[in-house]
Structure 1
Amino acid sequence: MFRLAIKLIRVAFREAGETERGIEQLARQPNVVRPEHRSASRADRDPGGPPRIAGIYPFRFFVTIGGLASYWVDRRDQFRRTAVYVARDFKGESPADPPVQTPIKFELLINVQTAPMLGLAVPPSLLESADGMTE
C-alpha cells in the first residue's frame, strides 16, 4: 500500500490579530490550506497582491477572488436532489420514508493564474478532470 507523508497542522484563528500570525506561520513552508468556510477570505493573500499560500476552498467564490482551487459538493446537484424529496412530499409520501443520501457529485475548480504565482505547475491531467477553470 502506498502512503503519503502528510503532516496535518491545525491553526485556529479566534481573533483578528491571530489570523495574520497564523498565515505567516503557514506561508514559511510548502502547504496546502483547507480553511473552514467561516474563515476563508482574502486573508491568505496580501491585500491586492498575489496569494501567499495555496488554499483549497469549499466554495467556488473563493477561486474567483484569487484562491487556488475549490473542491466541494456540487451544490446544484444537491438542490436538484432536494427537489426530488420535496416533490415526494407533495405527492403524499411521508418525509420519513426516503433514505438519507450522501453527496455523490463534487466540483473541482482551479484558478490557473494563481498557480504560477505560488510557483505551482498544474498537471494537464488535473486540468482535464476539473469542472472549471478561472483565469
Structure 2
Amino acid sequence: MVVRVRFSINGLPAVELQTYNKYYIGTRQHYEFCLQHESIEQDHAVIHCVRNGEVDVVTLMGRIFVNGREVRVQELTQRDANEDGVVRLRIGDVEAEMIFETDESSEKTIDVPTTYEALFEKRETENK
C-alpha cells in the first residue's frame, strides 16, 4: 500500500512530498516553503519525508505545533491524522496541514518475462 503525503501551508494548495526528500521552512528565498511572516524564523524547520507514509517534522529555530501540542521533533504517520487523514500543524503562527492519503491503485506491477522465448520475443520487439 502506498501512502501519499501532501503538505499545505497558510491555505495554499497542497504539495505532494516525495519520499527521501527534505523540505525547508523559513524566510530564506531558496527554501521550499519560504514564508514572510513575523512569526517565522530564517531557518524555522525542516520536513523530512523518511519513507512511505512517514514524515519527520524537526524544529530548527522556530516553534511548531502538531495537533495543538508544541514539538521539537515529531514523527508523523496516518495514525496521527484525524478521520479525514489530516494532521493540524502550526508553523510559528501560520496554520498548516499534513495530509495522508492511502493510494492502493498506485502500486506498480512489472510484467517480467519468465521464459527464454518470452524474453527473446521482447528483445525482438524492442529492436524494431
**TM-score normalized by the length of structure 1:** 0.24
Higher helix share: 1
Higher strand share: 2
**TM-score normalized by the length of structure 2:** 0.25
Q: Which of the two has higher C-alpha Rg?
A: 2
